[in-house]
Chains A and B, each alone.
Chain A
Amino acid sequence: MEVTIQHIASLKPLFVFLAPLAGLLGIVLLRKHPNAREGATFVAAISQCAVVYSMLPDVLAGNYPGHIFWEILPGVNIQLRVDPMGMVFAMVASTLWILTTLYAIGYMRGAHEHAQTRFFAFFAISITATMGVAFAANLFTMYLFYEMLSLATFPLVTHHQDKEARGGGRTYLTYLLGTSVGFALPAIIYIYWKTGGTVDFMSTEVLNWHIGKTEGGFLLLLLVFGFAKGGLMPFHSWLPGAMVAPTPVSALLHAVAVVKVGVFCILRVYTGVFDQELLHSLDTGLIVTYVAAFTVLVSSLIALSQDNLKRRLAFSTIGQLGYITVGASLLASGAIKGIDAPQAMIGSILHIAMHACGKITLFFCAGAIYVGAHKKYISELDGIGRRMPFTMTAFMIGAFSVIGLPPTGGVISKWFLIQGALEAKYTFVMAILLVSSFLNIIYLLPIAIRAFFIPQNEGAFHGRASEAPWQCVVPLCITALMSVLLFFFSGPLLELATDATQFLKPR
């Protein structure tokens, strides 16, 4: 299907971007009334989500709504544009923000956390930054919001303000700022300087005119490793460190928003910065594929050895992010030259959505177990399924999706990724993806199985373990349900992902 692309000026992207900031105002003003304060978050989240979905028909028809804020440097605007890839990400993030808000209310009140106003306020800022990255029309805008996200999530990661939080926060910022300032920023300045100010994602051919093979190879590596939120080894340690945050943060930010911003940036680098022609000529493309495949395999192995539930999930996330990067990196393979819509890329984009639903369910469950039973370690969870049946059933479904078993969404994106690996003639990638899926089964399913089939230890729960408050349980059931629904109704997402890969073929 050939789509003619049109850019239309629209205030909708601006609204999506500003809704959380308006919510922030409400949160701060209503800080003395917790119920009204959370109401403000809901109003912002629901209206944002509605506007995001209202843009879907336009984007599918090839009309990309956009908004220009400001010409910040000669030739470079701070500019938003809603294209299919950004749309997928924005739909996922805005939908899950509503559910996370509900969950956060249950969790924060259930666990008697302090400074809840600050928590919800910085949450809103983080969502703004996430939307900014999703809709960024050029490299500069994307970097701006990427940095904003790193800084806005610092108070969330260090929320507990104790020694552990301090250590986690340090690792978090060191890795994220270190890589973005040390690698990504010089690459962006270099591109800006070389192209005379063209950093828009829609004019990738300009870079091809100005740089050679060697420079291009370096730039690719600098950008891919510079956006370390994507969790590529060896710059992945911030993610397990960030697990000191309250669980809603781990759930939305470190399974959906922050980490997906990282891989989204990498996808943008592959589709919006480098021309396909240039990409095929680079020598370093293969390095990224190898590193990402290595990340997939090693993180799955590390996950096996973790007893802390959230840490195990964190390493699982690193592995799943590796899938997405692998998919994008296959674009550099010569075998897919001239192919209309590379399947690996479609798989990568779909995996953003599929993995988000599955993994957020798992994190929600981890938090619900903490609130309901005060357990953090997997070895303590024997027999908990009878006390928390809804939570553990949802956990099972989420695990299915992350592993990629039907009938869950995860199977679709993995299908495309494996097809893509074959299409690109990278059989070893396919092998690694399959082995890793097998490892996923080993480290995720036993948790659910032990919860249901091993009788609980006498006195393990002191009689106080039961389902978490309904605000926690309802969202996790919904996300589990969504994982299943995505299997049956993946049509619009697939269409968006295909559209996103349309303009990739060499001109």
Chain B
Amino acid sequence: MSEHSPVLLMVCPVFAAVFCVLFGMRNKAVCLPLVLLGLGGSLYFAVDVFYQVQASSSKAISYYLAGWNGTDFPRGVGIEYRVDLLNSLVLMLIPAVGLLAALFSREFVPRETPGKEPQYYTLFLLLLTGLMGMTVTGDAFNLYVLLEVSSLTGYALIAMGSPRAAVSAFQYVILGTIGATFYLLGVGYLYIKTGSLNMSGIHHAIVAHGLMESPAIYVAFILIFAGIWVKLAFFPVFNWLPNAYSQAPTSTGCVVAPLMTKVSVYIMVRVMITLFGADYVYGSLDWSGPIVWVSVIAILSGSVLAFAQKDLRRMLTYLIVAEVGYMVGGAWLLVPGGMARGELLSQTATGMVGTTYHIISDAAMTLCLFMAAGAMIRKAGSSRISSMYGLFSKSPVTMVCFVVGALSMIGVPPTCGFFSKWYLVSGAFAAGRWEFAIALLISSLMNAVLFFRVIEHAFFMNPDDKGEENIAPAFSENPSSMLVPLVLAAASLFAIGLFNKEIAGYLEQFLFYAQFGSYG
């Protein structure tokens, strides 16, 4: 409705954050309603933006901040917010996940960070603002600024966790900063060569000035991707992630784990498609061979390391590493020259569709699993998997949601995880990358073993198989403030799965309008 929606969706949480500090100090009870209000506003404007994008003829809308009109000199220095079919979906995803995580946090924040509720919720809102900003912006430098906003708040939110969290957060700060610096350096190279900071501006300049073969652009590409991959926890720099995410406060884990890596994957896709362009990434510079192999290693090492974990949350964090491998690999599965042979976009770019679809489905299932794990740990009194026995009798709703999340992670139809794998495996077949298809299937099987280990502990009554008596623990379910967001997240896994055709349709349309397959 409003032409200002792209910026209003960020303004809402920023103001909510300010009010959170101002009023929350006096009365802690106002914090959570403010968070919900701010994120609700974001979600409202994100949905509005989504419909605007649908309605526009080019399937993309631009919003120039401060009235900069995009043609002034120097060209391309000025912030443009640009929303197309891909980030309109991610923009709805972020506040939706934030809302559920905020609802879920009510039980945890006063307990895990007593007395710091206003600070906690302020950082929480700023983190989500940063993530939405990274998604909405069409400017490479502005992206860096917002990346730092989300990272700095993320460091603080993680450091508020267990006593060891401070060390992990410090490790994360070091690596995160190195990653961000690499990224900034790469953007600097690009600015010098093209004179633009606008993503599509940079791409146009690369094409117009014939810079495809330029070594400077090549170096910029390497720097930017090194930066993004560190932020992504892509193999081999992934060790910071399990430490940081598993020691963070429960409610931080529920928002950081689903969103941080997924938004970073979105950034990777954005940089590939809009900034460098498919013609550069797959054409002049074809790295698809080694990158898919590294993804295979990432998938397998994440799964294997998850096996070694005795702690439920740590196990889940290693699975994120594997999932990142899915998404990075999928993005590089384009069938070279497929369009030239007259194949449809849906056939040549299935891997990219799988990656982008998995951004959404993995965010939903990670949210579901982290919330379920938080709820299970609360009931079991310990995060060790071996302490989970009897939880099915104690809190059946929580466990059913965990099972749904687990099934999605394993890839059982009709949950969304199955369809992610479906698209990614089809993409691997189409590109002839059998190793990637096999790695995905192995990871599915390993997930099955991993999750059934947990489910088995929860289903059986005795921790040590001794004795014949199976005395079920008394029923004591988690409070509804936790169950409502958890059940909603679990239900969303089915919804995203059943509507996979529609979502994949949007994503194909996005690739079509981004002229993804047009090079040949």
Contacts and interface: CB of A to CB of B under 8 A. Distances in A.
Given A114-B470, A186-B425, A161 B460 contact: yes
Interface in B441-481: 441, 444-445, 448-449, 452, 456, 459-462, 465, 468, 470
Contacts of B137: none
A182 B413 contact: no
Contacts of A174: 449
B456 A72 contact: no
Contact of B426 (A161, A182, A192): A192
B414 A181 contact: no
A189 B426 contact: yes
A169 B456 contact: yes
A142 to B, nearest CB: 11
A72 B429 contact: no
A147 B460 contact: no
Contact of B460 (A114, A166, A182, A185): A166
Contacts of B410: 177, 181
Contacts of B64: none
B411 interface: yes
The size class of the interface chain B forms with chain A is 20 to 34
B411 A74 contact: no
Contacts of A173: 448, 452
B237 interface: no
Contacts of A140: 413
A158 interface: yes
Given A144-B414, A166-B456, A193-B426, A73 B437 contact: no
A151 interface: yes
Contact of A72 (B350, B449, B465, B498): B498
A162 B487 CA distance: 30
A151 B407 contact: yes
A181 B411 contact: yes
B274 interface: no
Nearest to A114: B470
B407 A162 contact: no
Interface in A161-214: 161-163, 166, 169-170, 173-174, 177-178, 181-182, 185-186, 189-190, 192-193, 196
Contacts of A407: none
B465 A166 contact: yes
Contact of B445 (A114, A170, A177): A177
B297 interface: no
Contacts of B500: 72-73
A190 B429 contact: yes
Contacts of B468: 162
A185 B429 contact: no
Contacts of B445: 177-178, 181-182
Contacts of B448: 173, 177-178, 181
B429 A189 contact: yes
Main secondary structure of the interface of B (DSSP, over half): helix
B437 A186 contact: yes
B398 to A, nearest CB: 17
B456 A170 contact: yes
B441 A73 contact: no
A210 to B, nearest CB: 13
Nearest to A140: B413
B501 interface: yes
Nearest to B427: A193
Contacts of B419: 73
A2 interface: no
Given A71-B501, A144-B414, A189 B444 contact: no
A126 B329 CA distance: 37
Contacts of B430: 193
Contact of B413 (A74, A147, A158): A147
B413 A144 contact: yes
Contacts of A178: 445, 448
Contacts of B171: none
A334 interface: no
Interface string B421-442: 0100110011000000100010
A143 interface: yes
A219 B445 CA distance: 20
Contacts of B470: 114, 160-162
A155 B498 contact: no
Contacts of B465: 162-163, 166
B346 interface: yes
Most buried by B among A161, A166, A181, A192: A181
A143 B412 CA distance: 10
B414 A72 contact: yes
A72 B426 contact: no
Nearest to A178: B445
A413 B301 CA distance: 51
A104 to B, nearest CB: 20
Nearest to B452: A173
B299 to A, nearest CB: 15
Nearest to A167: B465
Nearest to B455: A154
A177 B411 CA distance: 11
A161 B461 contact: yes
Contacts of B425: 185-186, 189
A266 to B, nearest CB: 20
Contacts of A147: 412-413
A169 B414 CA distance: 23
26 contacts: A72-B414, A73-B500, A74-B501, A114-B470, A144-B414, A147-B413, A151-B407, A161-B459, A161-B470, A162-B468, A162-B470, A170-B456, A178-B445, A178-B448, A181-B411, A181-B444, A182-B445, A185-B411, A185-B444, A189-B422, A189-B426, A189-B429, A190-B429, A193-B350, A193-B426, A196-B347
Enumerate the 10 nearest inter-chain pairs by beta-carbon distance, A residue then B residue, closest first: A163-B465, A144-B413, A193-B426, A189-B425, A177-B448, A181-B444, A193-B429, A161-B460, A161-B470, A147-B412
Interface of B: 346-347, 350, 407, 410-414, 419, 422, 425-426, 429-430, 437, 441, 444-445, 448-449, 452, 456, 459-462, 465, 468, 470, 498, 500-501
Interface of A: 70-74, 78, 114, 140, 143-144, 147, 151, 155, 158, 160-163, 166, 169-170, 173-174, 177-178, 181-182, 185-186, 189-190, 192-193, 196
Given A189-B429, A193-B429, 20 more contacts: A72-B498, A140-B413, A147-B412, A151-B412, A155-B459, A161-B461, A162-B462, A162-B465, A162-B468, A166-B456, A166-B460, A166-B465, A181-B410, A185-B411, A185-B425, A186-B425, A189-B422, A190-B429, A193-B347, A193-B350
